[in-house]
Amino acid sequence: MMNSVTPARQIRAVFTIFCLLCPLCIVHPVFPEEAGHKEGDEFLLDEITVTASPVIEGNTVDAFAGQKTLVSEDQIRDLNAQDIGTALRRTPGVNISRYNLIGSFGGGSGGAIFIRGMGSSRPGAEIKTLVDGIPMYMSVWNHPLLDLMSIDPAQSIEVHKSPQPHIFGNAFGVVNIVPRKMEREGYAGKGEIAGGGHSTFIGKAEHGGRQGGFDYYLGGGYRRSGGHRDNSDGEMQDIYGRAGYRFSDQWYLSWFTLWNDNYADDPGAEGADVSQFQGRYETGAWMNVITLQNRSALADGHLKLYRNKGKGDWLDQPADTPGLQEDLFNDFLFYGLKARESIRIWAGGEIVCGLDWDVTDGEYEAKFSNGTKDRWEGHDFTIISPYMALNQQFGSKDGLYITPSAGVRYYEHSDFDAQWSPRAGLLFGYRDTELHAGYSRGVIYPGLDAVVFSEKIIPALGRSWKNLEAETADHYEIGIQHHFGSLATADFTWFYNDGKNRYVIVPPPPPPPVYANIEKYRIQGAEAALHFYPAENLSLFTGLTWLDTKPSDLPYAPEFTFSAGINWRFLKVFSLNLDCQYADKMFTDSQARRKDAQNANPVDSYFLLNGKLACEFDSGGKLKGEIYAAGENLTDTDYEYQPGYPMPGISAMAGIRFSF
């Protein structure tokens, strides 16, 4: 097993931090009073002085009755989140799985996100992970690898918990990282250094500037931990950058790039023989996105050209033959374009038109400890999906209003039959109260995993994958939200998903085994959330999720989940952030793509409490920040996301965060 950082990685990590810190030291920062910014300009680099909402920023509903949960950089900071899993683990309707303190093991169920009972298929997944709206996951096995989702560049994280064809396609739900950019004139930077138990170290730096029409933003981070158990090491590092030029008030061109390189080890189930440990999972990606945006009174939209290439290498894993080790090198490639335009040519109405052209490619090479090799030359899928949606508001949001909407997305696939994805929605509101209702059909096609299983893993499957159809989920949702002035916001949502045509392997008899779209499922549930702001320096949040699934053993779908948080600013310079979660007993493991597969691995319910105490400092306007101490699992709860994989007890971290 590989349990230590190699000299090459140490040198690369030090070099990464050095490169990131240098621009902060040599570029003179221009501050608001120097830049002459206009009133109302947004400046994302400044530390907030008003207490932010804990856990999530809030739930929003668009004009098409599509709901989205937003986690901003404020919540990421207050939760002391070091990856996307820890940033979302308190979000209502979201559950996670992990083995490691730093890094998410990509094999098995080591690192995953589940939304309202969706996302447990592995290989294959109903949930897609995106960065800047661009695919970021392992194409060969068609499921997310969480370490690829670097949160350092995140201005916010968007969670779409249901199919929304007017926004995305080929998925039942989406997690999208929105990259940050410099919003106003001047220069500024941030940095953070922290350390904690289990040999954990974190270093981050970022810098941005804007002069005239030109703006840029660059940064990155390094994290590693020795882990709370033997063989639970993890490391994550990333560098990102953005450069843009505004030609006029209407046109803006930008380039965004993200590079990361990570690993996580499998500590193995307690008591298991070391020969059964699953080795190390290494991930890495290099993404590039060019975006042309337009904005005017009558229309706004964008055209994105993208290419994202990366790896997910599973090393030192036990092969099927006893005593044999396998290194599996998986390579993925995504490229294409995404075009979208919102048009408003009459009062109260909006037309959204768009086109996605997405190419998915991948291949692998396997090397065995006896010197033999195997290779899958790969395959590629192309999906062209135009879409259109229309809404019309009647009345005024100052009083009574109603907004009906409808839309459709069409899929043309290179290997499978075409599909339609319709949606319809309705908003009904009166002043501070709004009711939303909607129907949408989610469509998700089989991934490259169906091809590689047929050609390499189970050759007897032959060409049966060619007869598969897309999986579908009919989604129904009704919700209500009410604002109690500036004091509180409450919302409640009921949802129902009817999933059909899930593709599985049907084993003999009669031979041979074949792929078939025969599985179905049903998920219904409800979510309630309350944001409460009793004072300017105090904010509270509580959320509750109820799930009812059929079959009842769907993984990572606890019947009840409760989360809460409090952010309190006191004595002018101190802030206290607390968050907690209760999750019911639930089944785990991935949902096998095999006919009549059952899940027999549950974990017990658990309650977790985390906290962070910070003291702010200000040198007079040019240097400010906070010194903080953070603790996880403050109640020292014994809990697991996977049977035999205990998570750490009380763990602590301390650090300094600064900006100038």
What's the number of CA atoms in the CB half-sphere (13 Å) around residue 655?
Answer: 22
| 589/601 Cα distance (integer angstroms) | 7
Q: What is the pLDDT of residue 52?
A: 87
Q: Please state, in angstroms and as integers, the Cα–Cα distance from residue 51 to each residue in 48, 93, 491, 534, 577, following that order.
A: 7, 24, 21, 11, 10
Helices (H) and strands (E) in the chain, counts: 5, 33
Q: What is the pLDDT of residue 29?
A: 35
What's the number of CA atoms in the CB half-sphere (13 Å) around residue 615?
Answer: 3
Q: Which residues of 47-63 are buried (b: 16+ CB within 10 A; e: fewer)?
A: eeeebbbbbbbbbebbb
Which CATH code is given to the segment(s) 7-659? 2.40.170.20
Q: Are the C-beta atoms of residues 102 and 235 closer than 8 Å to each other? A: yes
Per the document, the length of the chain is: 660
Q: Which residues of the chain have pLDDT under 70?
A: 1-50
Residue 239 amino acid letter? I
Q: What is the pLDDT of residue 50?
A: 57
The residues that bridge with 328 in the sheet, in sequence order, are 314, 366
Q: What is the pLDDT of residue 45?
A: 40
The residues that bridge with 497 in the sheet, in sequence order, are 475, 523
pTM of the model: 0.91
Q: Are the C-beta atoms of residues 299 and 311 closer than 8 Å to each other? A: no
- From the number of C-beta atoms within 10 Å of its C-beta (0-12, 13-18, 19+), residue 182 rates as buried
Cβ neighbour number for residue 156 with a 10 Å cutoff: 18
Q: What is the pLDDT of residue 18?
A: 34
- Tell me the domain boundaries of the chain: 7-659
Q: Are the C-beta atoms of residues 286 and 308 closer than 8 Å to each other? A: yes
